[in-house]
């Protein structure tokens, strides 16, 4: 299992550059490009993948893959995630593991449409800005750091299909329950400043994002995903071109070494392994921009109703939503307990978080923190008392700055996007 190829490339191995290499014919699952990033990136990445620093890294024999990463673990460096798919890798985080105010990297969900790139080398990586710009540019990550202000922000990413599993009739696609949501701390430069430096021409209406991952078919002419956003959105302050996640390199499954982070909009807008942004004078038409992908009907439709492609519109902001992260569903609690979680609403703020323990008959207002910065989720908590033992459910309902509240029932749509129904957590009180 831990067979190692000692013959290949980086074997002037130093303690900084362990250059761990796996046998190509070990028949292991090659995701996320295990061989590629381990040979090209150093200890920091290995440490990110095992989830902590490696105090005795000096003693790690050449070519040894940390045991925590060996074998079939396509989710190396992730902790407790539920794997929905391994080709491409898709994994969500159970709500009770999302309890932290800032989501640690090992708890950030993974949504891949294709196969991550083999090479994720931060030193040689480049980002090209082209299309309708005055000065097309190609920048290294060092250039980005040098030319633009480096900022750190907590930013919420949620997959447009989060909650899909609850749709009836079912919608095709990853059967996400609640856990395709995270709010990590991202460090990078503002997309807006980079686009301004390139000179946005007056006819630009949309961005187009490109990356180094490959299509599942292996066909190099096909892209797994290439989405974009209106230029007005791209020029907002919160959007980052990020090279750090929670103070370390990006996790290979979350887009190392460079990605977009677009809070509040479907996270499909947030291209991972980003290597090019093109400014266009038309709405982008790349893979997953057209047809039914990340689009919803332009009117309410009945469950199961067939909708013509031309009646779909592109999803922009994500709707108001919340999560109960403590206690866990099914937990046993005493006659009094704290209940807590997060709430968010696209690019708006949340005004109110209420919880009910009597199936929605009465509601109690929770203590709701302001987001640590624009683009982050809100944390909330409440103290709950029960009069007698038994089975209860905690329901959480967020209301946003436009007065929109989470619904009881889902507005069905063919691809199962935007499910923002209330989160229910069952408790046994004794
Ligand atoms: N290059 C690239 N970027 C991508 C994707 C992808 O498959 N390839 N998936 C998108 C989708 S659909 C989502 S929900 C987010 C998920 O980000 P995460 O995997 O870091 O959680 O990445 C987006 N960016
Ligand atoms: Mo997504």
45 falls within a domain: yes
Question: Quick one: average pLDDT of 220-249?
Answer: 98
Q: Answer for the pair 354, 344: CB distance below 8 angstroms, yes or no.
A: no
Give, for ligand 1, the residue of 82, 112, 181, 254 to mutate: max count of ligand atoms closer than 8 Å to Cβ: 112
Cα 266 to ligand 1 centroid, rounded to whole Å: 10
At which residue do the structure tokens 């082209």 appear?
Answer: 130
Domain boundary among 284, 314, 344: 314
105 falls within a domain: no
pLDDT number for residue 331: 98
pLDDT number for residue 73: 82
Give the three-state DSSP class for 196. Answer: helix
Confidence of residue 108 (pLDDT cuts 50, 70, 90): very high
Specify the residue with its C-alpha closest to ligand 1, atom 12.
Answer: 268
* Mean pLDDT score across all residues of the chain: 89
Q: Answer for the pair 54, 43: CB distance below 8 angstroms, yes or no.
A: yes
111 falls within a domain: no
Give the three-state DSSP class for 310. Answer: helix
419 falls within a domain: yes
Give, for ligand 1, the residue of 103, 110, 225, 275 to mutate: max count of ligand atoms closer than 8 Å to Cβ: 225
**Residue 32 and residue 71 in one domain:** yes
**Residue 340 and residue 276 in one domain:** no
* Residue 22: pLDDT over 90: no
What is the spatial distance between Cα 415 and Cα 228, in angstroms, rounded to a whole number? Answer: 19
**Residue 72 and residue 150 in one domain:** no
120 falls within a domain: no
**Residue 74 and residue 187 in one domain:** no
What is the spatial distance between Cα 110 and Cα 401, in angstroms, rounded to a whole number? Answer: 29
- Taken in order 172, 175, 176, 178, the sign of the CA dihedral is positive
Cα 162 to ligand 2 centroid, rounded to whole Å: 8
Cα 314 to ligand 2 centroid, rounded to whole Å: 13
Cα 77 to ligand 2 centroid, rounded to whole Å: 20
**Residue 173 and residue 261 in one domain:** yes
CATH of the domain at 301: 3.90.420.10
Sequence-ordered list of residues with C-beta below 8 angstroms from that of 221, at least 6 positions apart, any chain: none
β 295-297/312-314 pair status: antiparallel
Q: Which atom of ligand 1 is nearest to the CA of 260?
A: 24
Specify the residue with its C-alpha closest to ligand 1, atom 1.
Answer: 272
What residues form DSSP beta bridges with 181?
158
Q: Which atom of ligand 1 is nearest to the CA of 253?
A: 19
What is the spatial distance between Cα 252 and Cα 89, in angstroms, rounded to a whole number? Answer: 12
- Residue 131's alpha-carbon distances to 101, 136, 213, 225, 379, in angstroms, are 39, 7, 21, 19, 40
7 falls within a domain: no
What digits encode the pLDDT tens for the residues 113-170? 999 999 999 999 999 999 999 999 999 999 999 999 999 999 999 999 999 999 999 9
Domain boundary among 259, 291, 314: 314
Helix (H) or strand (E) holding 144: helix 141-147
> What is the secondary structure of 152-183 as a DSSP string?
EEEEEEE-TTTTGGG-SS--SS----S-SEEE
Give, for ligand 1, the residue of 246, 255, 286 to mutate: max count of ligand atoms closer than 8 Å to Cβ: 255
> What is the secondary structure of 41-98 as a DSSP string?
S-HHHHHHHHTS--TTGGGS-TTPPPGGG-TT-TTTT--SPEEEEETTEEEE--GGGG
**Residue 324 and residue 413 in one domain:** yes
Tokens, residue 187: 């460090």
Cα 229 to ligand 1 centroid, rounded to whole Å: 15
pLDDT more than 90, % of the chain: 82
Question: Quick one: average pLDDT of 335-353?
Answer: 98
**Residue 140 and residue 238 in one domain:** yes
* Residue 333: pLDDT over 50: yes
- Taken in order 277, 118, 245, 324, the sign of the CA dihedral is positive
Helix (H) or strand (E) holding 427: strand 423-429
Question: Quick one: average pLDDT of 374-378?
Answer: 98
pLDDT number for residue 218: 92
**Residue 184 and residue 277 in one domain:** yes
Sequence-ordered list of residues with C-beta below 8 angstroms from that of 382, at least 6 positions apart, any chain: 338, 339, 340, 355, 364, 365, 366, 367
Domain boundary among 79, 96, 113: 96
Specify the residue with its C-alpha closest to ligand 1, atom 19.
Answer: 110
pLDDT number for residue 53: 78
422 falls within a domain: yes
- How many structural domains comprise the chain? 3
**Ligand showing the shortest atom-to-Cα distance for residue 417:** 2
Q: Which atom of ligand 1 is nearest to the CA of 114?
A: 7
* Residue 193: pLDDT over 80: yes
β 181-190/240-245 pair status: antiparallel
What is the spatial distance between Cα 26 and Cα 32, in angstroms, rounded to a whole number? Answer: 15
Rg (the chain; Cα; Å): 22
**Ligand showing the shortest atom-to-Cα distance for residue 157:** 1
Question: Quick one: average pLDDT of 272-300?
Answer: 97
Of residues 27, 24, 26, 18, the one with CA closest to residue 50: 18
E runs forming strands in 246-403: 248-249, 259-261, 274-280, 295-297, 312-314, 320-326, 331-333, 336-345, 350-356, 364-365, 367-368, 378-385, 390-400
**Residue 136 and residue 265 in one domain:** yes
| pTM of the predicted structure, to 2 decimals | 0.86
Specify the residue with its C-alpha closest to ligand 1, atom 23.
Answer: 268
Question: Quick one: average pLDDT of 377-386?
Answer: 98
* Residue 370: pLDDT over 80: yes
* Residue 421: pLDDT over 90: yes
**Residue 41 and residue 136 in one domain:** no
* Residue 93: pLDDT over 90: yes
What residues line ligand 1, using a CB cutoff of 6 Å?
Answer: 108-114, 157, 159, 211, 213, 224-225, 254-255, 267-268, 270-273
pLDDT number for residue 68: 65
Cα 110 to ligand 2 centroid, rounded to whole Å: 9
pLDDT number for residue 57: 74
**Residue 303 and residue 332 in one domain:** no
Q: Which atom of ligand 1 is nearest to the CA of 272?
A: 3
234 falls within a domain: yes
Indicate the length of the chain as a whole number: 430
Sequence-ordered list of residues with C-beta below 8 angstroms from that of 29, at least 6 positions apart, any chain: 72, 74, 86
Specify the residue with its C-alpha closest to ligand 1, atom 16.
Answer: 111
Residue 118 CB-density burial (10 A; 0-12 exposed, 13-18 middle, 19+ buried): middle
pLDDT number for residue 59: 77
What digits encode the pLDDT tens for the residues 158-181? 999 999 999 999 999 999 999 999
Domain boundaries, position 149: 126-314
Confidence of residue 44 (pLDDT cuts 50, 70, 90): low
Give, for ligand 1, the residue of 31, 32, 88, 111 to mutate: max count of ligand atoms closer than 8 Å to Cβ: 111
**Residue 306 and residue 160 in one domain:** yes
Specify the residue with its C-alpha closest to ligand 1, atom 21.
Answer: 110
Cα 378 to ligand 2 centroid, rounded to whole Å: 21
Specify the residue with its C-alpha closest to ligand 1, atom 18.
Answer: 110
pLDDT number for residue 56: 82
Q: Which atom of ligand 1 is nearest to the CA of 111?
A: 19
């Amino acid at each position: 299992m831990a067979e190692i190829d000692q013959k290949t490339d980086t074997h002037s191995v130093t303690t900084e550059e362990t250059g761990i290499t796996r046998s190509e014919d070990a028949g292991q699952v090659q995701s996320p490009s295990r061989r590629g990033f381990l040979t090209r990136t150093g200890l920091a990445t290995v440490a990110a993948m095992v989830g902590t620093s490696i105090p005795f890294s000096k003693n790690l024999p050449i070519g040894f893959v940390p045991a925590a990463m060996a074998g079939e673990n396509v989710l190396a460096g992730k902790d407790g995630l539920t794997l929905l798919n391994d080709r491409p890798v898709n994994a969500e985080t159970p709500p009770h593991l999302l309890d932290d105010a800032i989501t640690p990297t090992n708890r950030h969900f993974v949504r891949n449409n294709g196969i991550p790139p083999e090479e994720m080398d931060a030193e040689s990586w480049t980002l090209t800005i082209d299309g309708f710009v005055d000065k097309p540019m190609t920048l290294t990550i060092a250039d980005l750091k040098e030319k633009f202000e480096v900022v750190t922000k907590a930013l919420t990413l949620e997959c447009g299909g989060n909650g899909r599993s609850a749709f009836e009739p079912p919608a095709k696609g990853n059967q996400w329950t609640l856990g395709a949501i995270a709010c990590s701390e991202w460090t990078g430069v503002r997309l807006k400043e980079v686009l301004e430096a390139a000179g946005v021409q007056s006819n630009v209406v949309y961005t187009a994002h490109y990356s180094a991952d490959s299509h599942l078919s292996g066909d190099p002419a096909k892209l797994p995903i290439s989405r974009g956003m209106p230029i007005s959105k791209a020029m907002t302050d919160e959007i980052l071109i990020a090279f750090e996640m929670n103070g370390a390199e990006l996790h290979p499954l979350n887009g190392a070494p460079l990605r977009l982070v677009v809070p509040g909009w479907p996270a499909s807008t947030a291209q991972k392994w980003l290597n090019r942004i093109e400014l266009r004078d038309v709405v982008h038409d790349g893979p997953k921009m057209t047809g039914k992908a990340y689009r919803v009907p332009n009117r309410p439709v009945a469950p199961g109703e067939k909708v013509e492609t031309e009646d779909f519109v592109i999803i922009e902001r994500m709707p108001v939503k919340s999560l109960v992260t403590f206690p866990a569903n099914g937990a046993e609690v005493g006659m009094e307990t704290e209940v807590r979680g997060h709430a968010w609403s696209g690019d708006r703020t949340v005004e109110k978080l209420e919880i009910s323990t009597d199936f929605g008959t009465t509601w109690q207002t929770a203590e709701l923190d302001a987001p640590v910065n624009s683009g982050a989720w809100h944390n909330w908590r409440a103290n709950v008392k029960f009069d007698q033992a038994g089975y209860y459910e905690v329901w959480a309902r967020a209301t946003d700055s436009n007065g929109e509240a989470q619904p009881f029932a889902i507005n069905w749509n063919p691809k199962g996007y935007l499910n923002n129904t209330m989160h229910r957590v069952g408790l046994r009180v004794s």
